[in-house]
Chains A and B, each alone.
Chain A
């Protein structure tokens, strides 16, 4: 996650300065390493515990952490010889964390050799060819999916995992059919919340508001509805699965879905101001909502009544966006109009 943003800054104006490409690469390497320092520091505690339990000198593990950090930084760096280098760099990572002085020295040596032969940073833009899409407003959906790319897979894996756990819980415990249905409803609702939270956050970050498009003749309501529609469509596989396994769950879910999608759209508009990104708000409200839904399925009617209010809030939030203001926070590109050029 860190590497593309750091390397993006090294591709432009800085390249005209009198600096060797090797130095340029090493600067990027050190930048990534520095960004990893908190992670490495947090690894020192498990290292200490591990060294105590294995009876190894903790200094071996502590000395290995910088080598591990540098090697992993080199692993993610877009360098010319990355294909040949990566297996060796990975080897250096493993050796540096092995807890043996000899292995650590070998790891450090391997890293140094890899650094010498890794070549300059790879620059230039990847050619992006998109396939044909249906005309008109469908483009909005495709733009969202293009922004998400392979990231769209993660929430499904996680939500199906939740669904699987729910199924296992039901199978391994004796419950009345009514209670099983409620537990299943909770599982599916939580899965839908996870999908919406993840997709809303990634969309807000990777597809920030497009300032120019706001001058086109479409309303804020339409833009919010398109986003909410995209999120709702993304939950379709989950709803189909819920329908196949427990038909009764589908109605409360369908009635609650608009409120969840509008809540997500509203949160997308506030993402700059939220320290937890869009995840926190959607997950907290969503899981509480799912719990209430499983206890009182009729509350789905209340959610349906709440949906227009949430839509109005989301529309107002969309209008209030200061799209041309630099609002970079938590490494979000959202709000930065120049971030359109981000890889």
Chain B
């Protein structure tokens, strides 16, 4: 938890006080790149108890030849954002259009898709919760299904990569483990929430004291705790948060802690070895000045223990200062190496 807060304090850009979410200015869009801002209906999010948007904002970045070569089909890289930011601002900050242009110029053409999973608590945690909505399924099924049916994609496992930063790196691990059949390769950048989140009586008491109206003002760390709670210990019978709080009868409830641990990638690996081994490739990286390096090293070691091949890199950097550059220079080239390359469609086939 300390690490998560430490990471968060390196926040990208000062956020407006009201929403406390991170913003970034629109990025340059190189010539030839097409950006579409669309909405994708999340059937898996219907009926969520937090009142989160069911039609989600999604940024779609198309490579230069997409418009000029209407017979071509492309691999797709799904890029998951972190906590307290939406998909569009994450796309802005990462300067995704430039990364797509650079890689296309080097012969690696992708469609990059950035969905927004911002929720009332500041982030979905990409988990399966009746309270937040089933965001794992939203990404793996609703979003992938929509993109495959609306764009000229290579619509099979070999043509799909999944990557994310921080909470999105966490999402990459858990969605990969739950839906291995959907994605060919994974990359986790500075993943958060890798080892089980725990609370003390003091921190749990503080969580219990937050009113639902006061969530936005409760601070990054508190919001991250509340978001974890609504994602990992949902309880449809307990309004207004619709979750089980970690504090019960003056002590930390071990059952709630166990539920949170069940959402920890580190605790999940041992039960998902087959899923993880089925990927074409897995990569993970973290900056040496990122507080999350300890956690991310733990999952690297856990993968090693189970003989799960993966690429593991640390670099001189913080939680945020090099992630856009690394997406461009390391992550997309990694997917270029592993995903099926863009190809001409069969005659008569149009997206």
Chain A complexes with chain B:
no
Write the residues of chain B forming the contact surface with A, with a CB cutoff of 8 angstroms. Answer: none
